Amino acid sequence: MSEDSLQKPVPWMEGMVPTLNQRGFMSETMERFSMAFIDYASVCGHEALDMGCAYGVATREVLERGGSVLACDMEAGHVEILAREMPAEHRDRLRTAVGELPQADFPDESFGAILCSRVIHFLTGDEVRLAIGKMHSWLRPGGRLFLIADTPYTGFWFSTAPEYERRKASGDEWPGFIDNVAPLLSKEQVPDGMLPYLNPLDPDILRRECEAAGFTVEEAAFTGRGGEPDGNQHAGIIALKG
Ligand SMILES: C[S@@+](CC[C@H](N)C(=O)[O-])C[C@H]1O[C@@H](n2cnc3c(N)ncnc32)[C@H](O)[C@@H]1O
């Protein structure tokens, strides 16, 4: 697709911009863990990584506040639109990359902060583990990881919440994992390009996996969508690489 023909889709509902690759929506309003990333990344003095940046809602805020960002997404079109829409005065502090977790690689100790917002629930359990381990390697000592994932209490997956609670109580390592999301979308098959499975997570899982990777967890909690702090649609964590 040429750069000229590549357009950012119109929001599906207010503040929710569809992705180009059937990986949900970018939210134009951010919850508190993403806001904490923006506060930290703007002043930490080192480049930050926005992994799964979509059209750059968080990247742009960090750049506007004087920070530097490497914005990375598996979908080249997202990164192209992000770069094209970025005001000229911020472009010298923006780098972009196309990369997919968990295969993506960056040099060790590259970043002062990493945001990975509403991405890792698209990974299997083994991939989540590998990706968090890689993010630990990519951070500089003293750097912080800000992870946000969808929980079983969000969107079309809400009806699976009782099953998640039952599996969690019985000790299932990945109690939110859904093998086949098609029936939850009232479809026989998922649309082309969409993953058939989903791995909604919770704060306990994020804590377990970050600690296993060597992080010190500063906070792990449920949170609502942007502007709805009391909800449980997302799980967030702030984790320190000591
Ligand atoms: C639900 S959107 C979230 C966008 C934004 N970070 C936010 O919080 O609103 C998921 C984004 O992550 C990207 N993504 C999904 N799986 C990915 C993966 N395995 N590696 C890299 N990016 C991925 C998608 O292309 C999409 O841009």
In a domain, 183, yes or no: no
Most confident of 162-166, 184-188, 222-226: 162-166
SS3 207: helix
In a domain, 170, yes or no: no
Tokens of 228: 């709805």
Which value, in Å, is the radius of gyration of the alpha carbons in the chain? 17
**DSSP H helical segments within 113-160, as ranges?**
125-138
Rounded (5°) CA angle 18-132-149: 35
- Residue 219 pLDDT > 60, yes or no? yes
- Residue 213 pLDDT > 60, yes or no? yes
Predicted structure pTM score: 0.96
Asked whether 38 lines ligand 1 (CB < 6 A), one says no
pLDDT at 4: 56
In a domain, 178, yes or no: no
SS3 94: strand
Distance from the alpha carbon of residue 208 to the mean position of ligand 1, in angstroms: 22
Residue nearest to atom 20 of ligand 1 (CA): 100
In a domain, 107, yes or no: yes
pLDDT at 160: 96
Q: Which of 8, 17, 21, 23 to mutate to test the pocket of ligand 1 (most atoms within 8 A of CB)?
A: 23
Asked whether 27 lines ligand 1 (CB < 6 A), one says yes
Residues 177-198: tens digit of each pLDDT: 999 999 999 999 998 999 999 9
Asked whether 24 lines ligand 1 (CB < 6 A), one says yes
Domain total in the chain: 1
What is the distance between the alpha carbons of residues 238 and 226, in angstroms, rounded to a whole number? 17
Q: Comparing C-alpha atoms, which of 22, 204, 213, 214 is closest to residue 130?
A: 213
- Residue 2 pLDDT > 70, yes or no? no
What mean pLDDT do residues 71-77 have?
98
- Residue 221 pLDDT > 80, yes or no? yes
- Residue 70 pLDDT > 80, yes or no? yes
Task: Write the CATH number for 44.
Answer: 3.40.50.150
- The range of the structural domain enclosing residue 76 comes to 16-159+201-240
For the chain, how many residues are written?
Answer: 242
Residues 105-144: tens digit of each pLDDT: 999 999 999 999 999 999 999 999 999 999 999 999 999 9
In a domain, 153, yes or no: yes
Work out the angle between the directed axes of helices 32-43 and 57-64 (0-180°, nearest 10): 40
Tokens of 224: 């609502």
What is the distance between the alpha carbons of residues 228 and 106, in angstroms, rounded to a whole number? 34
In a domain, 168, yes or no: no
In a domain, 188, yes or no: no
pLDDT band with cut points at 50, 70 and 90 for residue 162: very high
Q: Which residues of 78-117 are buried (b: 16+ CB within 10 A; e: fewer)?
A: bbbbbbeebeeebeeebebeebbbbebebeeebbbbbbbb
In a domain, 186, yes or no: no
pLDDT at 169: 98
Beta strand 25-27 with 16-18 is: antiparallel
pLDDT at 14: 78
Rounded mean pLDDT of the chain? Answer: 95
